[in-house]
Amino acid sequence: MSSIYKIKPSGEFLEVEKAPFSDEIKELESFIMKNEKILGNVVLLNRQVTMPDGKRIDIWGLDILDLCPVIVELKNVSSGIEVIPQVLPYYSFVKSNPDSLKFRAISDEKFMSKLESFEIDREKLDKILEEDPKVILVAPKFNKELLEVVDYFNIKFELVEISRYKTDAGETLITVNKPKLTEPVKGPVRVMEEWNWEKYKKVGISEKKIEVAKGLKEKIDNIIRNEKIPVEPIFRKLYIPYQSGRSNVFWIDLGYTSWTTGDIRLTFYLDKKPDLDAEGIVEHTKTKWEEEYNLWSIFFNKPVDLSALTPIIKKSYEYVTGQKLE
């Protein structure tokens, strides 16, 4: 496991001591609820959801990009395959009780307000809750055995390793790692659903929105090729993320507003709201900054020249990956 060191002005470096979360409920759960973006594109709701048999789901919510329910299982110690049987009843409950989850959601004004900021109304919420849930496992470390077997299940898992440190000055540091799952030797039971332009049309995305998205993607692909930005576009349900490794850097969103009307949204992770004057895109005023999630979006109703966004694309890559581009 990696260590963290603090470099003193003299050049001497001191190892920063680990300060593990003392328990899963009071400390780790509270930290996750206050810093939900650490898990990705999620909006979290209830803590400790009690099921009819008395078992409790640590946290649940929605993935606002994959448009599906999310179950978050927390562990404050290194974990392995023993977590799998623990989360299966949670998965079954969330998958089988969309009406119960909807009631919890609409009863929480703060949660619904967050959803509204992402253009998710009650009708769209109904559709999302009908989808297969995603399970996010959080622990300081996952053992190799879990990484090797988790992809054999017909469930979408994401693993997030979180460790906490404290400096001698009292500062708190957090490290986050999303380990790559080991590819099974034989094909896994779960097959990733394939999406493409034709499938977007079949599920109800209008031809106009598809044509706008196609035009934007072509222009973005030219930029990343010419500027040698190492990201790869991947077709997903209703959006096309450009990824570095397993991390979304930016994405084209076809389902942000109505599937048949509305604009195509292009969204970037950034450390701060961009200065439109400085970036030379003052003519395009339809933008949105979501400070809580470090997301900046720009909306299009037709394909346009995106060359002015090249610095934004580069900044997004550097912010997400921590790697400087030449």
pLDDT band (50, 70, 90) for residue 271: very high
Nearest C-alpha neighbor of 255 from the set 267, 263, 247, 243: 263
Average pLDDT over residues 108-121: 87
Of 320, 260, 269, the residue nearest 291 (C-alpha): 269
Assess contact for 114 and 138: CB atoms under 8 A.
no
Q: What share of the chain in percent tops pLDDT 70?
A: 90
3-class secondary structure, 261: coil
Confidence check: pLDDT of 16 > 90: no
CB 254 within 8 A of CB 210: yes
pLDDT for 183-227, tens place per residue? 544 444 444 568 999 999 988 888 999 999 999 999 999 999 999
Task: Please report the DSSP string for 131-177 in residue order.
Answer: SPPEEEEEES-B-HHHHHHGGGSSSEEEEEEEEEEE-TTS-EEEEEE
| 34-62 pLDDT tens trace | 999 899 889 998 666 778 777 888 899 99
DSSP secondary structure of 183-197: PPSSPPS--PPP--H
> In which element (H, E) is residue 90 found?
helix 83-96
Alpha-carbon separation of residue 226 from 222, 243, 315 (angstroms): 6, 17, 16
Phi-psi sector, 16: left (phi>0), alpha (psi -120 to 50), beta: beta
Task: Supply the pLDDT for residue 193.
Answer: 65
pLDDT value for 32: 92
Q: Tell me, what's the pLDDT at 11?
A: 73
Question: Do the beta carbons of residue 251 and residue 231 sit within 8 Å?
Answer: no
Whether the predicted pLDDT of 289 surpasses 80: yes
Q: Mention every residue, 6+ apart, whose C-beta is less than 8 A from residue 145.
A: 80, 81
**What domains can you pick out in the chain, each with its CATH number?**
15-177 (3.40.1350.10), 197-321 (3.90.1150)
Proportion of the chain above pLDDT 90, given as a percent: 38
Which residue, 305, 308, 217, is CA-closest to 254?
217
The pLDDT value given to residue 258: 56
